[in-house]
Amino acid sequence: VCRQNLEHLASARLEMNAVRKMSEGVHMMLSILCDTTVTLDPDGKFKGSCRSFASMMLSSRAKLEEGLAGIDFTAFLCESDVQRFLTFLKTSSSRAQASTDVDEDTSSSSSRTSTEMSRSSNQTSSILVNLVDSAGLKIGVELYHIPVPDPYSSEALP
């Protein structure tokens, strides 16, 4: 039983390493294709410094050391778009969760491959909103939301 648990843990770690590499590759590709990319926590606050977004917005809110980490993304939205954006996030996250639940229910094994995990989180959706830069100018953008599990969280491994 102990050996089986160790084998399962080793397999899970290898799988999470594959997910991490895939996540890093996707982020690298998006940073080439998009003006900027950001990662938000479940509360809609920036994770990490997001310096490219701060530069694009000419933000003085980004402290040199911390960048935008912990600042609410909606602080950069036009007031009339905030509620619509929050509804969009909730809807697209719910849709991704429903897809994940269906995948888990129909999975014949207890461990899912990185391909299966990426398929279940591949619920891309977009919304047109206006951001407001530090000068008060509106910038029309199309935001893409791709809910993905955090491969670096402690909850990712059994």
The pLDDT of residue 83: 96
72 — phi, psi (to 5°)? -70, 130
pLDDT in tens, 69-108: 999 999 999 999 999 999 998 888 776 566 555 445 544 4
The arithmetic mean of pLDDT across residues 20-35, rounded, is 85
Q: How far apart are CA 4 and CA 61, in angstroms?
A: 51
Q: How far apart are CA 6 and CA 8, in angstroms?
A: 5
Both tokens assigned to 38: 């950001």
Q: How far apart are CA 108 and CA 110, in angstroms?
A: 7
pLDDT in tens, 30-50: 888 888 989 888 888 998 888
pLDDT confidence bin for 124, thresholds 50/70/90? low
Residue 38's nearest CA partner among 29, 27, 22 is 27
Range with the lowest mean pLDDT among 15-24, 108-117, 118-127?
Answer: 108-117
Dump the DSSP string for 50-105: -HHHHHHTT-SSSBTTTBTTT-BGGGGB-HHHHHHHHHHHHHHHHHHHHHHHHHHH
Task: Enter the pTM of the model.
Answer: 0.67
